[in-house]
Chain A
Amino acid sequence: MAASAEELQDADEAERADGAGPATSAGSDDRALVARTLAGDAPAFAALVRRYQERVFRFVLRLCGTRDEALDLTQETFMKAHQALPGWRPEAQFRTWLFSIAHNATLDVLRRRQLVVFVPLAEDSPDGPLARLPDPGAPPDERCGDRQRIALLDRALRELPAEQREILWLRELEDMSYGEIAATLGIAEGTVKSRLARARVAALAGYRRHTGEDR
């Protein structure tokens, strides 16, 4: 069902009535731009593209790994978004909706490349990843700002399965809540909680492996 301009306006008014702060003002702006796009205002969609192109690109790049492919996928994401825009519901956040399109498009490409690694679900087993959390090492303030250590973390992140990379990215870089991540990835909030914990443990384990701290 298409989202009419009136529905978009109602959603904005409801948001204002809830006392939504600056965090949701971007959502209101998005809704206004979507309403203008649906009314045939092409520059409004260009503004939406400019608002999100860098963030979508970085998310896709973190998943697919190659710049050229990430550029193509980012472009396709916006083309698909424009095509699907009449079906967008104002209850949904534009950002999560857009990222879900990027997520699906990227996963399609990864499946074709057969690079998606599915991790086992038995994360609670004694030998599972949650049980292999390394012992705490140096305090965090010694690690922050160290370029070499950041590079090692970057390397460890690249070695994670795509589903762990993307959930870490959405949480830490996009600052999404569990509900927003669940909507973006099409999974339950409980799955977000467990997958995120597994991803953090795996990232720490990979990081330690590269620094040699687990030897």
Chain B
Amino acid sequence: MSHPAAAPHAPDLESLSAWLDGELPAAEEFALAAHLAACPACAARLNELHALATDLRALPQESLGVDLAEIVASRLAARAPRPAAGAPAAMDAMSDISRALAALRKFFPASRPAARWWPLGAGAGAAASLALGVALGSALLAGDADPTPRLAPLAVFDALPPGSLCHGPDACYVKETDK
């Protein structure tokens, strides 16, 4: 800060503003304080800035009028992750597979060593079939498919009627010629 006290000068408003906020480094603050004591113009401008700050704090304040905490809480609760829709169906499918395997074991008792592994193979096949069915069914019901109904092309507006080879009345209808 170098403000000659005698000569008229433009005040360093950035420094005055920062001085008002207590944001000047100590050395600059001391220099400006000394200058303000000797320069009525800068002191008056500092007073203006100070008055502005006081007036801004006196501005009327609007109130929110509602408790946003409740609204935000309900929106957050609605956004919270839900259990996957396919999970219960998958659990049911696994139960069905277990029941099917239990039924197969009744028909093929474990007393015959040669036949011991055969039900397992059949059960695995049944399980794979059921799992595939569940997977395909879930994919169809998951809503990924485009639900927008497709409109059939309006053939009535085509140049030619459906199935027709006519290119115009001349091609399809015999002209009556005057002989």
Contacts and interface: CB of A to CB of B under 8 A. Distances in A.
B14 A71 contact: no
A193 B55 contact: no
State the majority secondary structure of interface residues on B: helix
Contacts of A194: 14
B45 to A, nearest CB: 6
A67 to B, nearest CB: 7
Interface in B45-80: 45, 47-64, 66-73, 75-77
Contact of B60 (A54, A150, A193): A150
A133 B76 CA distance: 49
Given A53-B64, A54-B63, A133-B45, A196 B17 contact: yes
B21 interface: yes
Interface residues of A, number: 49
A53 B69 contact: yes
A150 B17 contact: no
Contacts of B53: 172
Interface string B15-57: 0111001010000000000000000000011011111111111
Given A131-B10, A178-B21, A79 B60 contact: no
Contact of B13 (A58, A137, A197): A197
Q: Interface size for chain B: under 10, 10 to 19, 20 to 34, or 35 or more residues?
A: 35 or more
Interface in B88-141: none
21 contacts: A45-B73, A50-B69, A53-B64, A53-B69, A57-B62, A58-B61, A71-B64, A74-B68, A75-B68, A75-B72, A79-B72, A133-B13, A133-B48, A136-B45, A136-B47, A139-B47, A172-B56, A173-B56, A200-B49, A203-B52, A204-B48
Nearest first, the 8 closest Cβ-Cβ pairs linking A and B are A140-B51, A136-B44, A197-B17, A46-B69, A49-B69, A172-B56, A197-B14, A57-B64
Interface of A: 42, 45-47, 49-50, 53-54, 57-58, 61, 67, 71, 74-75, 78-79, 82, 130-131, 133, 135-137, 139-140, 143-145, 149-150, 153-154, 157, 168, 171-173, 177-178, 193-194, 196-197, 200-201, 203-204, 207
